[in-house]
Chains A and B, each alone.
Chain A
C-alpha cells in the first residue's frame, strides 16, 4: 500500500498532463486557438471536440432509395432488351412484350422456339454476387415457361436488392458532389442499412435548400416539341415549370444530361436574365450539333425530371458542344440547377424519411445549459465529497477532476461526437466514479472500526472494494457497449461517454486515489484515520 513504484507515479502524472494538453485547444476561444496554432509546431494535435448537431445546430436528413422506382426502371430495361433479342433472333410472338409488376411476359407463336430462346433470355441479366469471393452466383433473372408458349422473365429479389444497393452507392457519390458544391463545412454522408443514406450537414442555415438539393433527381433531357401531325404514340404531354398547362413533347430523347461535362450559372448579356451555361462531351456535342442542324425553326424542350423548364426555338445549328438553358430563373435557382447538373443525376428517386434540423440558436442554448448543469452538478458532488470525507474527499475530488479530463481527452482522441445525451452520460459517470471512491472509503472505515491498524485498514479497504468495483463497472460497461452497437445518433454518443467514463474510473478512482493516499501517509504519518 505504502510504496508506490516510481514508474506508476510518472505514468499517471504524464497521462494527466497529456489529457490536459489534448483538451486545451477545445477550451480556448476560436481566436486564441488560431493565434496559438500559428506558434506551436505542426505535429502537435490541435483537435477540438466534435459537437453533435444537437449542440452546434445543423441538419440531419435520412433518405431512402425508392425500391419501387428501381424495379420499374429495371422492368422497362428488361422489356427493351427482350424486344431487341426477339428481333435479333427473328422469333415471332403474338401481341407484344407485356410488363408485369416484377418482370415481363410474352407469348410465342411457335412454342418450340422456347427451347432456343430461353438460355439467351437468362443471359439478359448479370448473375448476382459471389464471383469475387467464390461461391455460386445466383441468377439475376428467373425465366420460366408457364405453358402454352407463354414465357415469363421475373427479376429475382436478390437482383433487385443488388440494384438498390448499387443505387445507394451511386447516389452517395452524387449527393456528395452536390453537398460539397453548397460550400458548407464537413458534411457527413453515409450509407445506413441497405437502402438508406444519412446526410448530416453541421451549421447549415437553410435546411429547405439542402432538402431541395438532396431530393431532386436532376435527370436532364433535350427533346423536340411534338408537331400537330405526329403519331400520338410518339408524343407525351409534360408539365411546364414556368407556365400552367401541358406541352406535347416527343418521347425520343435527343441528348441526355449524362453527356454534360460542365454547367455554370451565368447571365444573358442581352436580357440580363439568369441562365445556366453548359458544355457537352464530344459525343453529346456532336449529337447536339446534328439535332439542332436538322431541326432549325422547331422548339426544343429542355426537360428536367419530367418537367419542361423551357422550350426555346432553335435559331440555327449549335455546334461546338456548348449552349445555355434559360427559363426565367432567379439567380439562386440558376445556381442550384448548375450544381445539380454538374453533380449528375441520381440513379433512382430518393424520399426523405427523416429530417432533424436544429437552429444555431438552440444549439448554443443547449451547450450553455449542458455546461451549466455539468458545472453545478460537479460542484455539488465535489462539495458533498469534501464535507463527508475531509482530506480523503480532496483526494477523491482531484481524481474526479482528472477523470473528467480523461473522458474529454478520450472523446477528442477518438474523434467521437459530443451530444446532449453525451453530456448526460458524463454527468452520470461522475456519479459512478464517485461510487468507486465511496466504496473504498466506506470499506476503509469499516476495517478501521473492526480494529485494524491504519495501514492495514487502508490496504484492506482498497483490496476488498476493488472486486466490487470491477463487478459493478463491468455490468455497466456491458450495457454501454450494447447501447453503442444497437443505438444510433445521440444514443450512441451517450454510450461512448459512458463507456469511456467507466474505463477511466479504474485508473483515476482506484489507482490515482491510492497513490495520493499513500504519498499523504508517508508524509503525514497520521495516528488516526481522518474518515
Chain B
C-alpha cells in the first residue's frame, strides 16, 4: 500500500533566512492584536462582564426574534441582545447587569419567563453577578500567568536559558495573537475560552519543545556548524512530524467545530487559530530567537558527558 506523505522527504528549507520577514511580520501582528484589544476590547461573556443569558427554544416552529425583541423592550430599559443561535427555533437573550444590582437580575429572569414561557422552553439560564465576574477575570489571568512562569522554570531546568526565553517569547506571541483573534472575530470570551487559551499555551510549548529538543540534540552532533544552519537542519528534520501532528489536531478540532454544538464552537475556533499560530511561532519566532539571544554552538563549551546525558532523560526506554 502506498502511504500518504504530506511533507516532502529531506527538505532543506532555509527557515532562518525568513527571520528578517517573520520578525517584522509578527511584531506588526502583535501590535495589531494589542491595538484591537485596546480599542474594541473583547466580547466578554457573562462570566466576565456579569449579566444574564438565556437560551430559548420555540415550542413549535421557528422563533420570532423581532417579536421577542419588542417584548423585551417593554420589560427593561437596560442592554438587551436578542440573536438567533444554532437552529431557527433557538434564540439567545443577553442582558447586561442592571444598575439596581443582583435582585433586579432575578426579577428580569422572572419577568422574561412570565412573558415568553408559553411559547418557549428555557433551555439554559445563567445569571452572574458583577462581583463574581470580576473574581473570575482575576483567577483566569492568574492561571495564565502562573502556568507560564511554571513552564518557564521547567524549561530553564531542562535546557539552557536561551531556550527557555525563546519558548516564552514564542508563547507570549501566540497568546497575544489569540487575544487579537478573539477581539477581531468577536467570539465570546468566557471561562471556557480561558481553557482554550491555556490549551493553546500548552500546545505552543509542546511545539516549541519538540523543535528545541532537536536543536539541542543537533548541537551535540554537529559542533562546528554555524548556529543558523544548525537550526535550519533541526527544523527541517522535525518538519514531517510538525505537519503530521498539526494536521491530526486540526482534524480533531474541525470535528468539534462542525459537530460539537454551539456551546463549544468559540472554544474550538480559537483552538484552531491557536495551533496555526503555535506551529508558525515554534519555527519562525522561537528558533531564530536563539540566534538573537547569542546561543553559541557547543564547540565553545566542554562537551556534555554521557553520564549527564542519561541523567537528563529519566526513564529512557530500556529493553528488559
Seen from chain A, the residues whose Cβ lies within 8 Å of a Cβ on chain B are: 1-5, 8, 54, 62, 207-208, 211, 351-359, 361-362, 365-366, 369-370, 372-374, 376-378, 380-381, 384-385, 387-390, 420-421, 423-425, 427-428, 430-432, 434-435, 438-439, 442, 445-446, 449, 459, 462-464, 466-468, 470-476, 478-480, 482-483, 486-491, 494-495, 498, 510, 514, 531
24 contacts between A and B (CB under 8 A): A3-B319, A54-B263, A353-B128, A355-B127, A356-B126, A359-B124, A361-B57, A369-B263, A370-B260, A373-B255, A373-B256, A373-B258, A373-B260, A376-B255, A384-B248, A385-B248, A389-B3, A390-B3, A421-B192, A427-B255, A470-B313, A478-B154, A479-B151, A479-B202
**Contact present for B198 and A420 (CB under 8 Å):** no
Chain B, range 304-320, C-beta contacts under 8 Å to A: 312-317, 319-320
B158 within 8 A of A: yes
With A353-B131, A468-B210, A472-B210 given, can you name 19 additional A-B contacts, CB distance below 8 Å? Answer: A354-B129, A354-B132, A362-B124, A372-B259, A373-B259, A377-B254, A388-B5, A424-B268, A427-B255, A442-B238, A445-B240, A464-B217, A472-B205, A480-B202, A486-B139, A487-B143, A494-B195, A494-B199, A498-B199
- B319 contacts across to A, CB distance below 8 A: 1-4, 459
Task: Tally chain B residues at the interface, Cβ within 8 Å.
Answer: 83
Report the nearest B residue to A482, measured CB to CB: B147
A438: which B residues are within 8 A, CB to CB? 241, 244-245, 248
Report the minimum CB–CB distance from B283 to chain A (whole Å). Answer: 15
Across the interface, which residues of B come within 8 angstroms of A489, CB to CB?
Answer: 191
Q: Which residues of A contact B192 (CB under 8 A)?
A: 420-421, 424, 490-491, 494
- Indicate if the CB atoms of A354 and B128 lie closer than 8 Å: yes
Q: Are B313 and A354 touching (Cβ within 8 A)?
A: no
Kindly provide the distance from the CB of B306 to the nearest chain A CB, expressed in whole angstroms. Answer: 14
Q: Is B245 in contact with A370, judged by CB distance below 8 angstroms?
A: no
Complex CA gap A365/B209 in Å reads: 38
Shortest CB distance B211–A (Å): 10
Point out the residues of chain B lying under 8 angstroms from A474, CB to CB. 154
B276 close to A (CB within 8 Å): no
Which residues from chain B contact A4 at a C-beta distance below 8 Å? 319-320
Question: A442–B150 contact, CB under 8 A?
Answer: no
- How many angstroms between the C-alpha atoms of A421 and B194 in the bound complex? 11
Q: Which residues of A contact B254 (CB under 8 A)?
A: 377, 380
B122 within 8 A of A: yes
CA distance in complex: A385, B113 (Å): 50
Contacts of A211 in B (CB 8 A): 106
A372: chain B residues within 8 A (beta carbon): 259-260
User: Which DSSP category, helix, strand, loop or mixed, fits chain B's interface?
Assistant: helix
Give bound CA distance, A487 to B131, whole Å.
17
Tell me whether B21 is interfacial, beta carbon within 8 Å: no
* Chain B hits for A479, CB < 8 A: 147, 150-151, 198-199, 201-202, 205
Q: Are B206 and A432 in contact (CB under 8 A)?
A: yes
A-B contact count (CB 8 A): 252
Partner of A369, one of B3, B131, B155, B260: B260
B1 contacts chain A at the CB level, 8 A cutoff: yes
Given A424-B256, A427-B253: A388 and B244 interface contact (C-beta under 8 Å): yes
A-B pairs with lowest CB-CB distance, top 8: A369-B261, A431-B249, A377-B255, A5-B320, A362-B123, A373-B260, A486-B143, A376-B255
Partner of B256, one of A365, A384, A427: A427
Give chain A residues whose Cβ lies under 8 Å from the Cβ of B194: 487, 491
Interface bits B264-301 vs A (CB < 8 Å: 1, else 0): 10011001000000000000000000000000000000
Please give, as numbers and ranges, the residues of chain B lying within 8 Å of A459 by CB-CB distance: 319
Query: In the assembled complex, how far is the CB of residue B220 from the closest CB belonging to chain A, in whole angstroms?
Result: 12
Contact B3 A359 (CB under 8 A): no
Report the separation of the CA atoms of residues A219 and B252 in the bound assembly, to the nearest whole angstrom.
Answer: 55
Q: Closest Cβ of chain B: how far from A467's Cβ, in Å?
A: 5
Q: Residue A475 contacts which of B106, B132, B202 (CB distance < 8 angstroms)?
A: B202
A380 to B254, alpha carbons, bound, how many Å?
10
Give, as a whole number of angstroms, the nearest-CB distance from A374 to chain B: 8
The answer, yes or no, to whether B172 is at the interface (CB within 8 Å) is no
Assess whether B205 is in contact with A486, with CB atoms less than 8 Å apart.
no
Q: Is the CB of B3 within 8 A of A387?
A: yes
Would you give the shortest CB distance from A366 to chain B, in whole angstroms?
6
Q: Is the CB of B205 within 8 A of A475?
A: yes
| Closest-CB distance, B1 to chain A (whole angstroms) | 6
Contacting A at CB under 8 A, from B176-212, are: 191-192, 194-195, 198-199, 201-203, 205-206, 209-210
A377 to B259, CA, bound (A): 9
